[in-house]
Amino acid sequence: MKKLCIIIELTLIWLLTGCGQSDKVLTERDLLIFDRAELNGKLANEGFNRCINYTDGWLRLADSATGLIPRNINDRQSKDIWNAKDCAADNYPFMVLTSALLDTELFNGRMRAMLETETRLTSRLGTLPDTYSFSKKGFLARNISLTDIIFGSAEYLKDGLIPLTEWLGPSPWSERMISIIDDTWKYAYVKTPFGNIISDDPEVNGDMLQSLSRIYWITGDKKYLDRAIIIGDYYLLGKNHPTRNFKVLRLRDHGCEIVSGLCELYAAVSCVYPAKKELYKATVYEMLDRILEIGRNEDGLFYNTVDPVKGIPVNGGIADNFGYTLNGFYTVYLLDTIEKYREPVIKALSSLNEKYRNFPWEGPSSDGYADAIEGALNLYTREEVPSAAQWINSEIRVMWNKQQPSGIIEGWHGDGNFARTTIMYCLWKTQGTYVSPWRQDIEIGAVQEDSLLYISITAAENWDGRLMFDKKRHSEYMHLPEDWPRINQFPEYFTLDKNNSYSIRENGGKAQLINGKDLLNGYPLKVRKGIGIKLIIKTSSGL
């Protein structure tokens, strides 16, 4: 009898320390959640592999002399050029982001070299980029077009370098960002009653409002915010109000940027210059209220363009960039707690699954799907409308099916947005976790439930590495006081705090406590062929 008791006691110790059959010390509920995490891992694995294939496909098209990728492969002139507004803004950055997550050697090597080459070959006015011709081995245009260079620089900043900085933090790409924005404002040639600005184009100024506001927070240098205020005054306090004075207000890309840009500025001055916020408040509300009144269809999605004075659609097509504009509404809701600016987000998200599956966004193009899914996913992280999650899961498959066996999607610069949105989707499925080094057979998926993070990791072959976690990038990298929604941001899910401790149970074994500072360097793991790892993680506050 005594011998039997000893055997039972040793068996219990063996199980509780995780050395036995793990499923026996996980509850039935735990296992059901891990089933969901495992499914998420399969989706994330497919998405990450698609991003690697996209990157490899475009690298095969790079110019042999410079290593730079072409604008697109569908016409002769585009095959011969690298330009700022397309290559640099929309395609190359998401090759960088793909490699940052999935291929460190590529990230530190060829991606970094492309940045150095682009800076050396394309900088024309100080550090401002101009279009480069591979065949000419020089600039495409003999003469300088300041408006073209300003436009390309604004696009590169907002669509390319800002998103990279939001994920990477300080880097050579953030240095390029600062140099371009500083040189851009040396050429602020458009005179206004409030000071000179760089353009009278709402798209350029919308890009610049977003870039200046975020770069102010990144650097803490008020010169960037003060420049944004000149643009804000021009639209909100002058005779160029978007809904009072525009003959046509564009609510899709290449125009909608002004709405969300003004809302980002409103957020910044709310924190820094409260008196300026009070000056802007009525005109910001006027803009948002008028857009709600005349700019949407019955499902709460925006028309492509409207005449805000007459109150009628000009182009009644539905904008794939609905999320970009709704970012602005939700930001103002967060600042001023006005429910009527939250309700449009819930209404739009609630309509998608019922009415907008396989919808012909932009024709239908992959880029239209990328922008629509991005906007919905970014807002879903704030308002978890269940049917919106179903729609996102459905439509990502539609977009993925447009990728060709070569890795190329449609053969133009919009292919980069395929990778941008796919990475956003994969990080949702992993709750911001990833592995280093990544390998194409690794499946990592996660689910958050009741303040616990459940992670499933499997591999077809033995793998040793680290499980990496996200951090509160909006505060650590961007220094934002609140994580208001932003175009081209990458939402945060499970994030580590270096001042917290975290309990980690591996395969149902005994919990170990690890401080956040150490965990930010990664959690070492060994995954054996065909044997999955199940992790349950919670913060010390939940112990």
Q: Which has the minimum average pLDDT: 19-28, 84-93, 115-124, 222-231?
A: 19-28
Where in the chain is CATH 1.50.10.20? 225-432
What is the rounded average pLDDT of the residues 90-118? 98
Count of CB atoms situated within 10 Å of the CB of 274:
9
What is the rounded average pLDDT of the residues 451-472? 97
What is the rounded average pLDDT of the residues 494-510? 95
**CATH number attached to the domain at 2-36+439-468+497-542:** 2.60.40.1180
Summarised one tens digit per residue, pLDDT across range 16-57 is: 333 333 445 899 999 999 999 999 999 999 999 999 999 999
Query: What is the Cα–Cα distance from 171 to 183, expressed in whole angstroms?
Result: 19
The three state secondary structure string of 191-246 is CCCCCCECCCCHHHHHHHHHHHHHHHHHHCCHHHHHHHHHHHHHHHCCCCCCCCCC
Q: What is the pTM of this model?
A: 0.94
What is the rounded average pLDDT of the residues 330-356? 98
pLDDT at 3: 43
Summarised one tens digit per residue, pLDDT across range 150-206 is: 999 999 999 999 999 999 999 999 999 999 999 999 999 999 999 999 999 999 999
Using CA atoms, how far residue 422 sits from 155, 328, 364, 380, 443, in Å, is: 21, 23, 17, 15, 15
What is the rounded average pLDDT of the residues 308-323? 98
Query: What is the Cα–Cα distance from 18 to 166, expressed in whole angstroms?
Result: 38
pLDDT at 2: 42
Q: With contact defined as beta carbons under 8 Å apart, do 398 and 388 qualify?
A: no
Query: What is the Cα–Cα distance from 261 to 253, expressed in whole angstroms?
Result: 12
Percent of the chain residues topping a pLDDT of 70: 95
Q: With contact defined as beta carbons under 8 Å apart, do 136 and 122 qualify?
A: no
What is the rounded average pLDDT of the residues 440-463? 97
Q: With contact defined as beta carbons under 8 Å apart, do 197 and 230 qualify?
A: yes
Summarised one tens digit per residue, pLDDT across range 463-485 is: 999 999 999 999 999 999 999 99
Where in the chain is CATH 2.60.40.1180? 2-36+439-468+497-542
Query: What is the Cα–Cα distance from 239 to 220, expressed in whole angstroms?
Result: 30
Query: What is the Cα–Cα distance from 119 to 145, expressed in whole angstroms?
Result: 18
The helix-helix angle for 415-430 and 28-59 (nearest 10°) equals: 160
Q: With contact defined as beta carbons under 8 Å apart, do 398 and 62 qualify?
A: no
pLDDT value at 15 more than 70: no
Summarised one tens digit per residue, pLDDT across range 112-149 is: 999 999 999 999 999 999 999 999 999 999 999 999 99
What is the average pLDDT value for the chain, to the nearest integer?
Answer: 94
Q: Does domain 225-432 have CATH number 1.50.10.20?
A: yes
What is the rounded average pLDDT of the residues 516-531? 95
Confidence of residue 541 (pLDDT cuts 50, 70, 90): low
